[in-house]
Amino acid sequence: MALTILVLVALAIFTVLAFFRASIVSWVLAIMVIVPLVAIQARFSDSVLLVIGAALLLFIVLFGIPAVRRPVVSATVLKIFRRVLPQISHTEQEAINAGTVWWEGDLFSGDPDWEKLHAFPKCSLSETEQAFLDNEVEQLCAMLDDWDITHNRADLPPDVWQFIKIKGFFGMIIPKKYGGLEFSAQAHSAVVSKVASRSGTAAVTVMVPNSLGPAELLLHYGTDEQKEKYLRRLAYGIEVPCFALTGPFAGSDAGAIPDHGEVCYGEFAGQQNVLGIRVTWEKRYITLAPVATLLGLAFKLYDPGHYLGGEVNRGITLALIPTDTPGVRIGRRHFPLNSAFMNGPTQGKEVFIPMDYIIGGTERVGQGWRMLMECLAAGRSISLPASSIGGMKMAARTCGAYARVRKQFHQPIGRFEGIEEPLARIGAHTYMVDAARRFTALALDIGEKPSVISAIIKYHATERGRIVMNDAMDVHGGKGICLGPDNYLARDYQQTPIGITVEGANILTRTMIIFGQGAIRSHPYVLKEIAAVHDSDHQRALHQFDEALFGHIVFALGNAARSFVFGLSNGRGMTMPYDDEIYRYYQQLTRFSSAFALSADVAMAVLGGSLKRREKLSARMGDVLSQMYLCSATLKRFEDDGSPLEDLPLLHWAMQDALYKIQQAFEGVIQNFPNALVRRILGMLIFPVGKSLLPPSDRLGHEIAALLMQPGETRDRLTAGMYLSRDEQDAVGALEAALHSTLACEPLQAKLDEAHKSGKLRAPEELLRIAEARDLGIITAEQALQLQRDYALRRKVIMVDDFAPDQLRVNK
């Protein structure tokens, strides 16, 4: 009888669901409740089952039939959301709306589409772009003497400035019809990366005009007249641009800029009663400002006279001001960590400018913040990652060579495990960051504006760049700390914090932007729910909110189940499109994607608006998202490179390190979640059988160190795109020559060592021993010359610079 009642109840429920064409939510709920009841129906009386069945029917109808659910359930929840949802400021809303959602959306989905990842085109350059790298960029790098630039001149030499301008380096993003090079993001990134491997000052000088600034803003928002007037002059280097946003009282909180302008009539260029703006500003840290001829300026615009109509406070507005405009002050310089790129303050007090100086004209009044947010992705996605990877590649190549050439205790220092450890980090971080740099540039080239991803790549490229430079200095020891023409590391080491600080300080980026913006922007339902909450049309809002809310519920339940099941198997059992040595990484990332989506939903549901203030929790969630993105880029790179088996140590170390860090980040989230019950539930769903992942092994580190110390295809692929001088008088050129010479001379050195041990050679010094061996016929005269050259190269590599006292005096 009991079973019959349950069957009838089930039939009634499914009939109602079918009649109302209920969503999948209803069917899932019905099945999830009915199946357990059937299993235990014998324990209940018929009357109890009837009550349960009626309650179940009511529950399913109430929550499963949209026509019933909307006015009863969704409308009530919508009212609650409108009451408790924290206010989003105008600047926050524009930051959230800026850009597009790309691969990070898949990572948020709980089930990334790996075939989609590998269907993205391979990263490549056009013939024209490659030719520019092989010729103009090569020539520029050969002209650069970073010691002379940073120590003697505190500036680029005049011939370098001229070369940069006439060869179009300032116009890489400008279309050809305006005289620019119209390069892809991939080429833009490659150019900056190569120049950065030679000189940080030159790299910044090249990248800033092609990043967030006048050219990009004009391309996207300028009037036709503004484009015609300025773009060609910018492309040819006739105009030197800068963009002024940051000031003493508005750094990371750029929306709080006190700089202001007031719409009024005034005199301009000899004409009276010109409608314009009287602007006052004080900005600092503005790259190229000391030499700029064209100043992009962000300020808050006010219209108390209502000359433009509408409100008095018109919002952040952007203008383009020639620096010879009366009242504009530039010229003084900051000196950021001994880097010589032009950077300094600019001020203006009640400077009158006509309305046509507003970028985009009066139609763009008050749209400045949105314009900046939409364009910021270029600086974060291209310039800073490219400059970081240029230094990382230089460090990887030189550290490997130095660790092989430099000997202590009669063996190369790179064979000591203490040196293998930093070499492994240098190699693997360089491999992963370069993969992410290329992948992110690809996103821009296919039309994406990935605001969340741009924050991820900016943060991790510069942070890992710092790790690599610290490790490189440790490997080089005393060679690294003595400044001079033969020190190829120290300036990069000194200047590493610059990239970490600009374009959104890394602390802010990690704790507030990556997850804080990504949780809303990349989640498949949250942005829709927020939009419905703020929609003034009640019926439309209710329909949108209902669809988003219950889609969100199914999404969360599905990820909870997937997270638990995949946690039990550590990702095993999932079918992956790649059945090779690396398929396990796809499984583990899918598992963590489900756990991440679940954790994000739990954090937002339980903490609500207070999540904004839980910065450490947000940072750890951002770490998970970031590591998954870096892993995705690394797997794609390996496949795009043709899956070379020789590169597997780099891939394995990078992936295992990232996956272990994901595990640690999840552990931090769970341990520090403010609700004890949620901590237990999350721990059970994400790590049902505990934590099993380990950091990379010492064996992998040994293999990477060997790859860096040995010329070969893997080493060349890892450092491809950096500038490599073939001049043995150049510090890096000499080191590369010394590496090849050391390896070639090993058999001869072995002969000399054996002869010395046996007593045949008695000379105490190496050069004398070579001559003695030649005279005794142990080696030929030609071999003696080869060993003498090898000694000279090794000595040049090992020696450090020294100076007469007057050479180091300031203003000598």
Q: E strands along 668-722, which residues? A: none
Q: Which of 127, 155, 626, 590 is nearest to 344 (CA)?
A: 155
Q: Specify the DSSP element, H or E, that contains 385.
A: helix 384-405
C-alpha 436/C-alpha 633 separation (Å) is: 5
Please give, one letter per residue, the 3-state secondary structure of 459-471. Answer: HHHHHHHHHHHHH
SS3 811: coil
> Cβ(672)–Cβ(615) under 8 Å?
no
Q: E strands along 106-187, which residues? A: none
Sequence length of the chain is 812
Distances, alpha carbon 608 to alpha carbons 97, 556, 614, in Å: 20, 16, 10
> Cβ(291)–Cβ(240) under 8 Å?
yes
> Cβ(83)–Cβ(533) under 8 Å?
no
Residues 6+ apart with CB under 8 A from 407: 413
Distances, alpha carbon 420 to alpha carbons 55, 405, 416, 463, 700, in Å: 66, 14, 6, 21, 10
Q: Which of 247, 164, 173 is nearest to 206 (CA)?
A: 164
C-alpha 240/C-alpha 622 separation (Å) is: 37
SS3 436: helix
C-alpha 78/C-alpha 74 separation (Å) is: 6
Q: Give the pair of three-digit tokens for residue 513.
A: 């932007």
Q: Residue 421 catalytic?
A: no
C-alpha 141/C-alpha 156 separation (Å) is: 12
Q: Which is catalytic among the residues 129, 503, 547, 736? A: 503
Catalytic residue annotation: 503
